[in-house]
Structure 1
């Protein structure tokens, strides 16, 4: 109401002043100037009130369901708020309960209630929190609660041209870890709206929602890569099949570093497209907006329930194509270097409860033919790039996480840098010791100074990589004291959490914080 009255008064004053100027020319200059000043002041009042209304601290909120995911945002210009609401909507679509609140509406009591929280925060000034997070900083972050029950993810927005890049995001991350909250995945930094970092955030949301197929907010600009080789590495394993894939780019000069990520654009298998067409009695050869319908459907999320199909039956073909969302990308750690002349992946075949193979793993391990083109984009992952070559490295991983660690060991071998210590865990040594010959050669050459393995099914009492690490606590402290960097790659749930707990116990909270701030503790977990 105030906004409409202020605008109306401003308009009325301008109208009356203009009329007075016409009727009395001598009055013209002074009356017009006065009228404009008053109108401008009213406009300023409206702007100030509007800003206060948009940035006002939310009032008391109803108690938050502890089973729901809390999405808290700190936004100055509105971008973080927009991404927070997109995050909440993405989780709600597959049925995840969500509460989305400004940070100033969040307190310690609320954080003590919820089990999972996501934070989307921007930084203003020289590393300062946005206005709608200042009360949270002053009251909640001044406390030292125990949040050991809380799992969290954090999206930090910033601009690397500023000295304190993502400063508030790092401050919040440090406080949460000091309160013993457990990161679901590592801090995701977005430099000036970087689309790749936002896709990585969406990828993590899909995992959080139970491997839900969430469409990308902005699809990657893929390149064409040819699948030249595919080999199963673990025949006879108690686990799902694991495949070693080799791809080559159709363009020359494609570069990446150890730690970078391959974003894959999957496709639906032909039989899934045919089955969908049969269910709706459609002809895949029909041309829709310049493309065959079957070609459109290879790139769209296809429904799997009768209710979803029923909602599509009365649509025109153009509406159908528009209604079906594009397939999301899938991410894989790169296991090779450009010097190898090819890009290599290690992919475990995943399956849904109804027997359908996972979107990305199914495409790469079964449906894409050797020799076929694969849509792929390399995403720089600076958070997992190599340390200074002179530093010792401790590499810890399980399962297909050996892929990202292998790229780092390859880089160390090329540079003839050691010492390096690898701790690797899987099910059975006879079936699941990926790249064993290569790792043995690194041991023989001295590139790999120490190797510790944990094959959980090779003895009655299951032994995992975190157990091996705990048994080597003294050696771990010695390596860290000598400047070693710790790199962890593999499953976020289970391995990464347990390894983090062992590191905290062996090194202490202060040392872990120092390692993280110095870039000596890095993770690529999924």
Structure 2
């Protein structure tokens, strides 16, 4: 069965022209008769697929679904919420919205301005006539804030009069299957076709989607579904004697993979649970470690192997459960062990066929029970040099260096937040970017916790790093943090912003990123002479111009 052709993105047409042509071709080819060609074509149904994205998942999904919708005959387009106002929804009429949740139930960065506009007292437009549905992306580990951004948007759109055509779907980390069901339902409702017409039209499209997905997978080579077995080639402690931390420089070889990446991207790493932790869990439940159990993606394996390689166990460790719990029920309630994403700490232009990470090994005790970060201790302690583990690259289109090499860059990255900025500075050096570079770095003690000290100081001495401000919180009685240094340099920081500097933040989302954001607003007010409202508008404009980006976790 022939699939419906789609006008490629690089064809010499506007977005609107491509959408119309896609709809026209889909209509003609799916009617299956020459008579249909001579008949007036029904106007393609407009469809906006909007996204609120922090790490790129919602964005990539929205763009993929927009291509699929165009193949189904819609005049579809994908757009970030930072490019939209609530009034735009009225013009579009049909809106599918995909959003992640950031931090403690907050909107992702590119959705903040849109959300604020939806909640302006007295000025939020009525959305009568707008048809919508929401797909919320999240992580159940966040408890009450799971998918909260999507839930809030769903409630608010309905309050403003929009009609929900398909119930909101809340997705955990593995979202592909649920996203597919949600989009198929939404496309079917919006198409307005009869059941017979839907069967004749939707089925071929789904077959085409599967073929296209297989083709994309083959073209892409290694991916999350088919990770590259990368060899660990470096595991170097970055802290020295006297530190309370264990931070590692980790490097993998990409030799033989044909893989590449851009600075700002993340590396997905497939990890395993600690065997000691797994043995403790099995013993606590008095299970047989060799009992055969089902695996999350099909097949089966002995319980011990399944818990080490395939299931999450960290939430179970140390918890008291009834011994009466059956093995089948126990396994049924386990979550699939997910790969972990880490900010890349290198430029491939400097380190050919390599990718580097900067990782803090997590170890702590609560109520007398020792805990280990699954991924961090796997990389620090349990993966030997020259051994392999699966990796893949995760594009972070929201976290990119300016294309204009003359633009100034301000980077705020305490602790392991230094990772992408080491990559940025290596990239700026390799591309001979003439723009100024300013780094704010902080940790506990200068003597033991100044990560990548020699490389950073060399950049300063050679003038590549125009300005370096450090904040070592425990080197003096008063705690000093990166936001403290920002406020102390308010006048110059404001001058850089006015020169068009791009402002980046990487690191802890719960406290640091919020404190840095507060400091940025304060600087714009004091050094820039703005009111609080004007400062907020200035920051929102920076976000729209892609000049304020955060990689936070």
Report TM bin, short chain. Answer: 0.5 to 0.7
Counterpart of 2:317 in structure 1 is 304
Check 1:323–1:351 CA distance in 2 against 1; reply closer, same or farther (3 A cut): same
Question: How many corresponding residue pairs?
Answer: 362
State whether structure 2 residue 362 is matched by structure 1 residue 350: yes
Counterpart of 2:245 in structure 1 is 240
| d(CA) in 2 for partners of 1:232, 1:348 | 10
Counterpart of 1:172 in structure 2 is 114
Provide the secondary structure at the position in 2 that maps to 1:382: coil
TM-score by length of 2: 0.58
Does structure 2 conserve the Cα–Cα contact (< 8 Å) formed by 1:264 and 1:376? yes
| d(CA) in 1 for partners of 2:251, 2:430 | 20
Q: Deviation above 6 Å: which 4+ runs of structure 1? A: 76-80, 120-126, 129-133, 176-179, 206-209
| d(CA) in 2 for partners of 1:265, 1:295 | 15
| d(CA) in 2 for partners of 1:403, 1:472 | 23
Counterpart of 2:348 in structure 1 is 338
State whether structure 2 residue 215 is matched by structure 1 residue 254: no
Q: CA deviation at 1:483?
A: 1.3
Counterpart of 1:154 in structure 2 is 107
- State how 1:79-478 maps to structure 2 within 5 Å: 127-128=88-89, 152-154=105-107, 169=111, 171-175=113-117, 198=137, 201-202=138-139, 205=142, 216-218=173-175, 220-221=224-225, 222-249=227-254, 251-285=256-290, 287-288=292-293, 289-298=299-308, 299-302=310-313, 303-305=316-318, 307-308=320-321, 310=323, 312=325, 314-316=326-328, 321-339=331-349, 340=351, 341-352=353-364, 353=366, 354-388=369-403, 389-417=405-433, 418-478=435-495
Check 1:79–1:519 CA distance in 2 against 1; reply closer, same or farther (3 A cut): closer
Check 1:261–1:306 CA distance in 2 against 1; reply closer, same or farther (3 A cut): closer
Does structure 1 conserve the Cα–Cα contact (< 8 Å) formed by 2:228 and 2:390? yes
Q: CA deviation at 1:373?
A: 2.1
Which whole-Å deviations, capped at 9, do the CAs of 1:129-152 have from their partners, x for residues lacking one? 79999xxxxxxxxxxxxxxxx965
Provide the secondary structure at the position in 2 that maps to 1:326: coil
| d(CA) in 2 for partners of 1:206, 1:243 | 30
2:543 to 485, 509, 516: 516
Check 1:279–1:497 CA distance in 2 against 1; reply closer, same or farther (3 A cut): closer
Does structure 1 conserve the Cα–Cα contact (< 8 Å) formed by 2:252 and 2:354? yes
Check 1:125–1:362 CA distance in 2 against 1; reply closer, same or farther (3 A cut): same
Does structure 2 conserve the Cα–Cα contact (< 8 Å) formed by 1:203 and 1:330? no
Check 1:460–1:264 CA distance in 2 against 1; reply closer, same or farther (3 A cut): same
| d(CA) in 1 for partners of 2:258, 2:173 | 27
| d(CA) in 2 for partners of 1:77, 1:419 | 39
Check 1:480–1:516 CA distance in 2 against 1; reply closer, same or farther (3 A cut): same
Which whole-Å deviations, capped at 9, do the CAs of 1:37-74 have from their partners, x for residues lacking one? xxxxxxxxxxxxxxxxxxxxxxxxxxxxxxxxxxxxxx
| d(CA) in 2 for partners of 1:474, 1:204 | 41
Check 1:510–1:370 CA distance in 2 against 1; reply closer, same or farther (3 A cut): same
1:494 to 480, 504, 511: 511
Unmatched 5+ stretches in structure 1: 1-75, 81-119, 134-149, 157-165, 180-191
Q: CA deviation at 1:311?
A: 5.7
Q: CA deviation at 1:511?
A: 2.1
Q: CA deviation at 1:175?
A: 4.0
Does structure 2 conserve the Cα–Cα contact (< 8 Å) formed by 1:263 and 1:330? yes
Check 1:509–1:278 CA distance in 2 against 1; reply closer, same or farther (3 A cut): closer
Does structure 2 conserve the Cα–Cα contact (< 8 Å) formed by 1:215 and 1:327? no
Provide the secondary structure at the position in 2 that maps to 1:229: strand
RMSD of aligned C-alpha atoms?
Answer: 3.9
Q: CA deviation at 1:391?
A: 0.8
* Higher deviation after alignment, 477-486 or 120-129: 120-129
Provide the secondary structure at the position in 1 that maps to 2:384: coil
Check 1:342–1:452 CA distance in 2 against 1; reply closer, same or farther (3 A cut): same
Q: CA deviation at 1:245?
A: 0.8
| d(CA) in 2 for partners of 1:328, 1:278 | 24
TM-score by length of 1: 0.60
Does structure 1 conserve the Cα–Cα contact (< 8 Å) formed by 2:277 and 2:317? no
| d(CA) in 1 for partners of 2:120, 2:418 | 29
Does structure 1 conserve the Cα–Cα contact (< 8 Å) formed by 2:104 and 2:510? no
